Copies of this chain bind each other. A is one copy, B any other.
Amino acid sequence: MSNSSWFTEAHEASGSSIGFRTRRLLHEEKTRFQNIEIHETSDWGNLMVIDGCIMLTSRDNFLYHEMMAHPALFTHARPANVAIIGGGDCGTLREVLRHPEVGQAVQVEIDERVTRLAERYFPELCEANADPRARLLFEDGIRYMADCAPDSLDVVIVDSTDPVGPAEGLFNAAFYASCFRALGQGGILVQQSESPIAHLDLIRSMRAAMRKAGFGALHTLTFPQPCYPTGWWSCTMARKGAGLSDFREDAAQARPFATRYYNAGIHRGALSPPEFMRSLDD
């Protein structure tokens, strides 16, 4: 193909790389927080890159966004109040707002430019931004959670970049303590937790910090994600209270919205960890 080159992310920590064939650079800017690029690819739609790390493509983001939203929301008995920390591309917000039980969903993204660029280059992810239940804030999520009224949230979704740079403070016990306090009894924290095969130590330390903050049940779910290092990703759910192994399976089956990856069987399957991850639960 003429006019094509490749954008490749070399993930030094795992010694592996992932790339996509690109047609052109649509946008590049240095914001107050980070460097953002948007590329047009040949086969994956648009591609967003932050500080050299691939954030999403139009084609495969459904895997991540559905798994960040639906397992937690179908586990909580009545998810009325949801906060998303990060998530500036608005894809998680869109999935959250598909649930009719949700009364308010606040998205707290530190970098407004991520959302403005998503509106332009990933408009399908932003189609729920005008929903009256949506509230978009552009401020520090760590501070937001620290100031949050106790027992005011049902689900907190931490949809952040890797634990370096602006997102570093989202992976420690102090932040988890804020989340724990802000959640009501039975409330669920869910956080993206990197690659099962490359970052098992990180997952282990996140889980230890979550436990230390008081969360009574933990579960790490894995799912495919072609555009992230190793192509395999995870999120970790932590519950204020007990029990993450059951969910509203009938509601998941009868959900009044379309999905492309998630369904009740996928949720049930994701509750059974690969053999090498069973030791996490010891």
Contacts and interface: CB of A to CB of B under 8 A. Distances in A.
Interface of A: 6, 8, 10, 12, 14-21, 41-44, 59-60, 196-197, 222, 224-226, 230-232, 258-266, 268-276, 278
Contact of A15 (B14, B44, B224, B269): B44
A224 B226 contact: no
Given A16-B226, A59-B197, A261-B276, 15 more contacts: A15-B20, A16-B20, A16-B43, A222-B224, A224-B230, A224-B231, A226-B230, A226-B231, A226-B232, A258-B275, A260-B276, A263-B274, A265-B272, A266-B269, A266-B272
A10 B21 CA distance: 9
A123 to B, nearest CB: 21
B20 A43 contact: no
B14 A6 contact: no
A67 B189 CA distance: 32
Nearest to A269: B269
Contacts of A21: 10, 12, 15-17
Contacts of A222: 224
A197 B226 CA distance: 9
A171 to B, nearest CB: 22
Contacts of A196: 224
A258 B274 CA distance: 12
A69 B49 CA distance: 38
B232 A261 contact: no
Contacts of A275: 258-263, 266
- Please name the 6 residue pairs, one residue from A and one from B, whose CB atoms are nearest each other, closest first: A231-B231, A269-B269, A265-B272, A15-B43, A17-B19, A224-B232
Contacts of A276: 260-261
A19 B266 CA distance: 29
Nearest to A267: B272
A275 B263 CA distance: 6
23 contacts: A6-B17, A8-B19, A12-B21, A15-B20, A15-B42, A16-B19, A16-B43, A16-B44, A17-B18, A17-B21, A197-B224, A197-B226, A222-B224, A260-B276, A262-B275, A264-B272, A265-B271, A265-B272, A266-B275, A268-B268, A268-B269, A269-B270, A269-B272
A98 to B, nearest CB: 13
A17 to B, nearest CB: 4
Contacts of A12: 21
B18 A231 contact: yes
A87 to B, nearest CB: 22
A221 to B, nearest CB: 11
A187 B175 CA distance: 54
